[in-house]
Structure 1
Amino acid sequence: MKKLFVLCAIAGFTAAVHAAPEAPAKNSQQSKMATCNAEAAGKKGDERKAFMKECLSAKPAAPVTQQDKMKMCNADAAGKKGDERKAFMKECLSAKK
Structure 2
Amino acid sequence: MKNLLTCLALAGLALPTLAAPAAADAASAPAAKKAPTAQQAKMTACNADAKAKDLKGDERKAFMKTCLSASKQEKQQDKMTSC
Short-chain TM bin:
0.5 to 0.7
Moved over 6 A (4+): none
The equivalent of 1:46 in structure 2 is 58
| Aligned-residue offset at 1:26 | 2.2
Counterpart mapping for 1:1-97 below 5 A: 1-20=8-27, 21-23=29-31, 24=33, 25-41=35-51, 42-59=54-71, 61=74
The equivalent of 1:74 in structure 2 is none
Question: Structure 2: which amino acid aligns with 1:46?
Answer: D
How many residues in Structure 1 have an aligned counterpart in Structure 2?
A: 64
What is the rounded CA distance, in whole Å, between the counterparts of 1:34 and 1:45 in structure 2?
A: 18
What is the rounded CA distance, in whole Å, between the counterparts of 1:40 and 1:11 in structure 2?
A: 50
> Equivalent pairs: percent with the same residue?
44
Task: Tell which has more relative contact order, 1 or 2 (C-alpha 8 A, sep 6+).
Answer: 2
What is the rounded CA distance, in whole Å, between the counterparts of 1:27 and 1:2 in structure 2?
A: 51
| Aligned-residue offset at 1:50 | 0.9
RMSD: 2.2
> What stretches of structure 1 of length at least 5 have no aligned partner?
69-97
Aligned partner of residue 26 in structure 1, secondary structure: coil
| Aligned-residue offset at 1:48 | 0.2
Higher percent of residues as helix: 2
| Aligned-residue offset at 1:54 | 1.5
